[in-house]
Amino acid sequence: MTDLMVKIGGVTVPLKDCAWSMWAKCGCMVAISLAVSGDRILATEEQAHKNHSPRKRDRDREIRNGYRWVLITMARYRSEIAAQWECKQHRKPAA
């Protein structure tokens, strides 16, 4: 575990309450990784991307295609984002 604190939108929160979200150019969130999971700590956008896409070739392609990573709080994820998958291509399949 870690005591790292981060600032999101002017508010300081523990990194362990955050997650890295991956966004497509169309405005959809397409992936999410916990910032802290056991001993694994993702403190930067680059670390989050490497964790999600271990192969550099994949990361380069994703960057070329306009994907980006944004740190969000889990509270915000649950309240605002979880159910919002916007375009047809990225809509969350019905469970």
Beta-carbon contacts of residue 52 (< 8 Å; ≥ 6 apart): 20, 22, 31, 33
Choose the stretch contacting Zn ion; rule: CB under 5 A; options: 13-21, 28-36, 56-64, 73-81. Answer: 28-36
Choose the stretch contacting Zn ion; rule: CB under 5 A; options: 25-33, 37-45, 57-65, 66-74. Answer: 25-33
User: 35 near 42, Cβ under 8 Å?
Assistant: yes
Chain positions 31 to 90 lying near Zn ion, rule: CB under 5 A, are 87, 90
How far, rounded to the nearest angstrom, does the alpha carbon of residue 56 sit from its chain's CA centroid? 18
List of residues contacting Zn ion (CB under 5 A): 24, 26, 28, 87, 90
